[in-house]
Structure 1
Amino acid sequence: MYSVFLAGYDLKTPDNPDSEDPKKKYGIQKNIELVQVKVIKIALRKGSKYDNLAKNYGDYLKKLQAEKNLNNYIKILTVKMFFKKKAYTERLENYHKRYKDNDLYSNLKKLYKLYYQIARKENRKRSDEEIE
C-alpha cells in the first residue's frame, strides 16, 4: 500500500494533534497525494506544453512526502492558499481558462477542493470549549 507517511510514523502518538481521529486525516492526506500523482501523469501525457505543470506538481509532491509534521504542513498551506472563498473560486476559474482539457481540470479541481475543505475547517469559528 502506498503511504504519505514516512516509515516508522505512528499516527497514535501523543504529540500528534490529530491522533483522536487519524483515519479521517489520513484519508484526506492520501487523497491529496493520489490526486497530485494523477495531475502529474495527465500533464506528462499531454506533452511538452504541460511539462512545467508536471514539474511544479512533482516538486509539491516531494515537499509533501518529505515533511516531518504532515498535518501541520497541510493545514498551514491550505490556510495560506484559501484565506477567503474568493481565492478558491479565482484559482479554479484560472485553471479552467488555462487547462481546457476536462481530465486535467477535473483533477486540479478535486485537489483544490480537498485543500479548501481543510482550510474551511481550520478557519472556522471555535467554541469556548475548544479554546479552553
Structure 2
Amino acid sequence: MQEGDFVSDPTLHPCPFCGSDDVGICHVVDQPSRVECWKCHAEGPPADSSKDPGDLAVERWNARRGRNVLTSTIKLSDESLTAIGALIETLYRNTRAREATAQQEPLDPPQSRTYFPSHTSFD
C-alpha cells in the first residue's frame, strides 16, 4: 500500500450521513490515516499518527453513534422547528398589530428643548 491510496475495508460500517457503503481508509503523505466516504465526502476521526496503518481510524469510524440516534435527533428537531415556527408566527402577528396601532395613533409632536447646559465660566 502506498501513501495517497484509498483502501476499502470490509469491517467498515456505512457512512452515518448518507448511508453509502462506498467508504474506505484514506492514506495521505505525512498525515494520519482516516476513513472517508466517497459519496458525501464525510471524514471520520484520524488515527493518532501517520505511522498507523489505519486500524485506529477504522475503530473510531465504527465507534460513532448509530443511524437510529441520528434519526431520533432529526425527529426531535422537526418538533422543535414546528414550535419555533409557531413562535415566529405569533411574533409576526404581534409586530403587525403594533405597527397598525402606531399608524392609528399619531406620535406627540417633538417639543423644543435645550439639550446644552447654560454657559458657565470657571474663572
For the aligned pair, the TM-score class normalised by the smaller chain equals: under 0.3
TM-score (norm 1): 0.22
TM-score (norm 2): 0.23
The structure richer in strand per residue is 2
| Structure showing greater Rg | 2
Q: Which structure carries more relative contact order (alpha carbon 8 Å, separation 6+)?
A: 1
The structure richer in helix per residue is 1
